[in-house]
Amino acid sequence: MSKALSIFDTTLRDGTQGEGISLSADDKLKIAKKLDQLGVHYIEGGIPGSNNKDIEFFKRVQELKLQAKITAFGSTRRKDSLAEHDANLKRMIESGVQAATLVGKSWDFHVHTALQTTLEENLAMIYDSIAYLKRQGLEVIFDAEHFFDGYKNNPEYALSVMAKAEAAGADWLVMCDTNGGTMPHEVHDIVSVLAGRVTNSRLGIHTHNDCELAVANSLSAVRAGAEQIQGTMNGYGERCGNANLCSIIPNLQLKLGYQVLEEDQLKQLTNTARYISEIANVYMPVNQPYVGTAAFAHKGGIHVSAILRDSRTYEHVAPETVGNRQRVLVSELAGQSNVLSKAQEMGIAFDPENENTREVIAKIKDLEHQGYQFEGADASLELLLRQANGDLKELFVFESFKMLVEKSAGKPVISEAFVKLNIDGNSIYTAAEGNGPVNALDNALRKALITYYPALQEIHLSDYKVRVLDDKDATASKVRVLIESRNYENSWSTVGVSGNVIEASWEALVDSLRYALIGQTKREDYTEIPSAGRGLVNH
C-alpha cells in the first residue's frame, strides 16, 4: 500500500457556491458530523465572520469534538497593510480552528488586474499572512489560486509564489486549477516541476470541473506528488462544480492502491453522498459513479445472465466496497434472468420453468411499450410479479371515481373527488377535497380504506412526477406518473400511465397503497387491490 493521503473536504465552503445550494448552520453541522464519520481529514467550514450562519457554525462545531481538523478560509492581507491589523486574518484566528486555509494569487495577470498591485507586494502579502498565522499556532494550508494558469503564463513567478509561501512556514502548498481549464497531462507535468523544488511543505491539489476533468486532474496530481486532495461531496461547487470526492476517494484507494480511508469508512461513502444530497436538497444523478443508484444497475438480459454467474463480468468493483448495491432492472430489454433476479431480491419464489415466467416477461415488455417504466417503480413491479406468481388476492373491488374541479371568478380552485369501492361486500362511497385533483383523489381513497386498514395513517406521498411521453399530441399526449411514498421506515415508488393524468395518478396511487398494505403484515395474508387500467385483472 502506498503512502497515506489527506482528504480535504470543502463542501461547506466551496460547495455552497454552487447554484441552488444553501445550507443553514444546522445543515452544515449535520454534514460536518457525517463527513467526520466517513473519515475525511480536513473539513473546511466557511469564512469566519462573513455571515451569521458561518459565525454560528464555527461557534457550535467545537462542541461536536470531531476527529477531522476544522479549517477556516480566508485571503491574504490587504495590499500595503500589516497582517496583524487585518480583520480577516484575526477572525480566522478567533474562530478557534486548528488549521487555516489561506488563498493567494499566483497568476501575474490576476495580481495586476484583480489586486491592482505589484508582483513584489503580492509576495509580501503571502509571506506576511502565512507567517502571522503560524505565529498564532495554526496549521496553514496555502491555496495558490489560478496556479496552473499562472504557471503557463509566467512559470518563474508562479514558482516564486510557492517558494515564498514555503519560506513563511506554510504546511501545505495547494495548486488550484481555479478556472478548471487545465488538461491532465499538464497537471502532471507542472506538479512534477513543483515537487522537485519543495523541501519542507507538502503539496495539495484543488481542481474545478469546467472541462469535466476535475477527478482526472486530481488523480494526475497525486501521481506527480500531491498528498492532499481538495474537493466536495457529489462535486458541488461554482459553475460546473469542484472535484468529486465520491469518485476520487474510491479511485485512489481501489484503483491506485493509496491509503485514504479505513475499509469500514469506505463502505459509508454511498450513504454519506446521499445523505448530503438530501440535506442540500439537490438532485443526485442516478448515474453518478460509485454512489449513484444506477452505478451498479444492470438492464440488458445478457448482462444480467452473466452477473448472476459472476458479478465481475460487468462490475469493475464490488458495490459493497463503497456501500452501494447491485440492482437488476426490469424493462423491455429484460430477459428471464432479470425477472428471476428481481423475484429473488423481493423474496418471491419464481420457478424459471413455469409458464408464468414467460408470460410476465411478455407482460412487462408490453407495458413498457405502452409507456410504463418499472426501473424507477420497484413497488409496482413487485405487485405485478406477485400477482403472476399467484400471491395476491382481492382486498377491495374498485367501482368508480369522479372528479369535480370548480373555478369561480376571484376565488381559488376547488378540487373534490368521489370514490366508490366494495370492501368485504360493503359498498363504500366517500368524498374528499384536496389541494388539486390528485390530492383530493388520494384523500378520498384513504378515507374509504382507513377504517379497514388503519396502517394507511402512517403512509404519505413524498414525491409526485409527471412526464409527457410523446409531445406530438400536445395536451392529448399520454403521460407517465411516478409517485414516491414513505412511512416511518421505508420508501417505495409506483407508476401509472394513461392519456388522462388523473387516471395515471389513480393507478400509481392505488399501487402505492397496495404495496404499503402487503408490507404491514405477512405478505401471504394480504390480497390484491385491483389496479385501474393496467390489465392485471378484469373489472
For the residues of 281-334, what is the DSSP string, one character each? T-PPPTT-TTTSTTTTEE-SHHHHHHHHH-GGGT-SS-GGGGT---EE--STT-
* Percentages (nearest 5) of helix, strand, coil residues in the chain: 45, 20, 35
What is the per-residue pLDDT for 493?
86
Q: Are strands 491-498 and 414-423 parallel, antiparallel or unpaired?
A: unpaired
Q: If you compute the radius of gyration of the chain from its CA atoms, what whole number of angstroms results?
A: 29
Tens of pLDDT along the chain (539 residues)? 456 899 999 999 999 999 989 999 999 999 999 999 999 999 999 999 888 889 999 999 999 999 999 999 999 999 999 999 999 999 999 999 999 999 999 999 999 999 999 999 999 999 999 999 999 999 999 999 999 999 999 999 999 999 999 999 999 999 999 999 999 999 999 999 999 999 999 999 999 999 999 999 999 999 999 999 999 999 999 999 999 999 999 999 999 999 999 999 999 999 999 889 888 888 788 899 999 988 887 776 566 567 667 777 778 999 999 998 876 655 544 555 666 666 666 677 766 666 777 777 777 777 877 877 776 678 888 888 887 777 776 778 889 999 999 888 888 889 999 999 998 888 999 999 998 888 999 999 999 998 888 888 888 888 888 888 765 555 557 888 888 888 777 788 898 999 889 999 999 999 888 888 875 543 334 344 444 444 332 22
In the β-sheet with 397-406, what is the strand arrangement from edge to edge? 397-406, 414-423, 426-434
Please tell me the predicted confidence (pLDDT) of residue 300: 60
Beta strands in 351-498 (DSSP E): 397-406, 414-423, 426-434, 460-468, 479-486, 491-498
CB 174 within 8 A of CB 131: no
Query: Which run of H or of E encompasses 190?
Result: helix 184-195
- Cα torsion for 374, 380, 384, 386, to the nearest 10°? 120
DSSP per-residue letters across 43-110: EEEE-TTSSHHHHHHHHHGGGG--SSEEEEEEEPPPTTS-GGG-HHHHHHHHTT-SEEEEEEE--HHH
- Rounded CA separation 7/23 (Å): 22
Task: List the strands of the sheet with 479-486, edge to edge.
Answer: 460-468, 479-486, 491-498
What are the start and end residues of each CATH 3.30.160.270 domain in the chain? 397-517
Per-residue cell: 472 = 406530438
Q: Judging by beta carbons within 10 Å of its beta carbon (0-12, 13-18, 19+), is residue 2 exposed, middle or buried?
A: exposed
140 SS3 class: strand
Residue 316: how many other CB atoms lie within 10 Å: 11
Amino acid sitting at position 344: Q
Residues of the chain with CATH 3.20.20.70: 6-280
Q: Quick one: pLDDT at residue 453? A: 87
What pLDDT score was predicted for residue 173?
A: 98
Distance CA 103, CA 111 (A): 13
Q: Give the model's pLDDT for residue 538.
A: 26
Quick one: 397-517 is in which CATH superfamily? Alpha-isopropylmalate synthase LeuA, regulatory domain (3.30.160.270)
Model confidence pTM above 0.85: no
Looking at CATH, the fold of the domain delimited by 6-280 is given as TIM Barrel (3.20.20)
> Letter for the amino acid at 201?
S
CA 204 to chain centre: 25
Q: What is the dihedral of CA 308, 313, 314, 319, to 10 degrees?
A: 70
Helix (H) or strand (E) run with residue 444 in it: helix 437-449
Helix 301-309 vs helix 336-345: crossing angle, to nearest 10: 60
Name the one residue in this structure whose C-alpha cell is 399530441.
473
Q: CA 410 to CA 390: how far, in whole Å?
A: 53
